[in-house]
Chain A
């Protein structure tokens, strides 16, 4: 087990720069998730840690060794690929024992380690099968088993769940997390799925266009996103945004939208009078209030998900979403009154997109 230190790392393909100086320190035993939209550079960064991509600038350390010019086999890492990358011509046993055979470990040791990993992953009955004879979830487990037998210093996961169906994905998510709690190997996990990031990570690194947008514990990022991108990326349905101008009247402050709608904000906020801002509120922080109070919104679509209903509508000219755990019988076209809890809103500068606290 080891720390991973990424210092000012850059990656260029020809003339295009895809990673712009990333700094990230991953503690020993930590589970860090890199998340971001496709093309944001998260997989490239992971592959640079793995040694599958060259590093154009900066430095990566695993433990206390600089690994910039070290081939993957010397980095003592294990990786789980999106397509599992199981060797199709080997049995599950041989797939899992391959790394140990390459290192010329004695047969008895390979056997013990493969069986130990197979026990953890419930793969015992499948050891003699070829990968082609396994289901998606089982293949995924073999891929993890291959990483597990190694006792590598760092586990790298490259969107390992994206080929599984929705139900299995949730199941495997829990399994990976449980596995990490058990073996505690430092892990770096890449995904574009913010729910995976939220549920699994000790710390989330939100990336966009080759840059780190914000790093932090999942709930910190969720509750106090540092900018509009992070606010919009984490959470599903995503945060509602409304643009307007900050106005102060006596002790109170509010954001006034173009159509005159007033959205209350905490008076202590550091925005100045007349500043052009983006007002953000999560769908679950909108509450129903009796008509005549709060802000009026028009219902457009109602989507029941089971535990909640998601109501999409218009408020101050913007499309918004509100989530309620009560089953309100709203109809399209109906006007409802909503209240935003001022303590739970986020306010961003409209120009820079940065959070105003």
Chain B
């Protein structure tokens, strides 16, 4: 037992530099967020706070119109993830189950879209949205995020779908299921782990996206969280760092919630894989 304890202490010691590097920005963020305003710039810098200021959060919420931005971000992230999944699942299914001419080319095409940075396309996308009359409309973000995520989601889903034995669907057909029934009652339940993981990635990507949101959205009422927080920093005479940091703390929380909720599907996915 003590040998085991020693071992795990050693492992943690080896891991600790990484832990520090990862957690340091979060620590700074959190400490700044709960500090009183006059402790922001003191010399020499202090690492701790004299009192825990909950008020920073409430003040920030009101002053920065945070609630509105949060709703915007939630809407855009959920809608774009749902759209991407709704379109990716059939595409991934076709890629993993059917043979058709141009399949390889299609796959390569998907991969190539990932090599382009969104910033290269921003101007074109903006003009496209102008033409569609969707500038300053959150749905322009839903569309573009879904489009940018789809290459990844199709790729990811397809590789998981290929691990689901074809036999299972064939058995369902023989049992009397139509194609749709076998998909709905046999295939999709087994694909839930992959769908969950893919949606986590899609959601986080949309949640954190900045450049497109900054370009497409003009009015501050429609800002998503990253843009809203940015607007508290950029072009101001005085930056309220404690509000900015309180905002970033709140912006990371929903992602953490979504992730911890979905991660149980990761474990279930591994358990399912054991059944042959």
Q: Does B176 contact A (CB under 8 A)?
A: yes
The 10 A-B residue pairs with the shortest CB-CB distance, nearest first, are A85-B167, A99-B175, A88-B275, A132-B275, A85-B171, A72-B173, A102-B176, A73-B176, A72-B174, A89-B189
- With A81-B167, A81-B170, A88-B190 known, 13 other A-B pairs at CB within 8 A are A50-B170, A50-B174, A73-B175, A73-B176, A73-B177, A86-B275, A87-B168, A89-B189, A98-B175, A98-B185, A103-B176, A131-B275, A132-B274
User: Are B172 and A98 in contact, CB atoms less than 8 angstroms apart?
Assistant: yes
Q: Does B178 contact A (CB under 8 A)?
A: yes
A200 to B198, CA, bound (A): 48
Q: Does A146 contact B (CB under 8 A)?
A: yes
Q: Does A83 contact B (CB under 8 A)?
A: yes
Q: Does A176 contact B (CB under 8 A)?
A: no
A85 to B271, CA, bound (A): 17
Q: Does A274 contact B (CB under 8 A)?
A: no
User: Are A83 and B189 in contact, CB atoms less than 8 angstroms apart?
Assistant: no
Q: Does B60 contact A (CB under 8 A)?
A: no
User: Are B174 and A87 in contact, CB atoms less than 8 angstroms apart?
Assistant: no
Instruction: Tell me the smallest distance from the CB of B159 to a CB of chain A, in Å.
Output: 19
Q: How many residues of B contact A (CB 8 A)?
A: 22
A50 CB contacts on chain B under 8 angstroms: 170, 174
Could you say which interface size class chain A belongs to?
20 to 34
B177 CB contacts on chain A under 8 angstroms: 73, 102
18 contacts between A and B (CB under 8 A): A50-B174, A52-B173, A71-B173, A73-B174, A73-B175, A73-B176, A75-B174, A79-B174, A85-B168, A85-B170, A86-B171, A87-B171, A87-B186, A88-B190, A89-B272, A130-B275, A131-B275, A132-B274
B171 CB contacts on chain A under 8 angstroms: 79, 81, 85-87, 146
B175 CB contacts on chain A under 8 angstroms: 73, 78, 98-99, 102, 146, 150
A89-B189, A102-B181, A132-B274 known; A83 and B165 CB under 8 Å?
A: yes
A73-B173, A99-B175, A146-B175 known; A83 and B276 CB under 8 Å?
A: yes
A131 CB contacts on chain B under 8 angstroms: 275
Q: Does A77 contact B (CB under 8 A)?
A: yes
User: Are B176 and A52 in contact, CB atoms less than 8 angstroms apart?
Assistant: no
Instruction: Tell me the smallest distance from the CB of A129 to a CB of chain B, in Å.
Output: 12
B residues at A contact (CB < 8 Å) = 165, 167-168, 170-178, 181, 185-186, 189-190, 271-272, 274-276
CB-based A-B contact count at 8 angstroms: 69
A83-B276, A89-B189, A132-B274 known; A73 and B178 CB under 8 Å?
A: yes
Among candidates B173, B181, B190, B276, residue contacting A89 with C-beta atoms closer than 8 Å: B190
B276 CB contacts on chain A under 8 angstroms: 83-84
A213 to B272, CA, bound (A): 43
A87 to B174, CA, bound (A): 13
A146 CB contacts on chain B under 8 angstroms: 171, 175
A86 CB contacts on chain B under 8 angstroms: 171, 275
A86 to B175, CA, bound (A): 11
Name the residue on A nearest B167 (C-beta).
Answer: A85
A52 CB contacts on chain B under 8 angstroms: 170, 173-174
A85 CB contacts on chain B under 8 angstroms: 165, 167-168, 170-171
A81 CB contacts on chain B under 8 angstroms: 167, 170-171
B186 CB contacts on chain A under 8 angstroms: 87
In chain A, residues 76-123, which have Cβ atoms closer than 8 Å to a Cβ of chain B? 77-79, 81-89, 98-99, 102-103
B275 CB contacts on chain A under 8 angstroms: 86, 88, 130-132
Instruction: Tell me the smallest distance from the CB of A55 to a CB of chain B, in Å.
Output: 16
B173 CB contacts on chain A under 8 angstroms: 51-52, 71-73
A288 to B272, CA, bound (A): 58
A102 to B186, CA, bound (A): 12
The residue in B167, B170, B176, B177 that gathers the most chain A C-beta atoms within 10 A of its C-beta is: B176
A128 to B167, CA, bound (A): 23
Name the residue on A nearest B274 (C-beta).
Answer: A132
B165 CB contacts on chain A under 8 angstroms: 83, 85
Instruction: Tell me the smallest distance from the CB of B219 to a CB of chain A, in Å.
Output: 47
A41 to B231, CA, bound (A): 68
Name the residue on B nearest A146 (C-beta).
Answer: B175
A87 CB contacts on chain B under 8 angstroms: 168, 171-172, 186
A89-B190, A89-B272, A131-B275 known; A99 and B170 CB under 8 Å?
A: no
Instruction: Tell me the smallest distance from the CB of A258 to a CB of chain B, in Å.
Output: 50
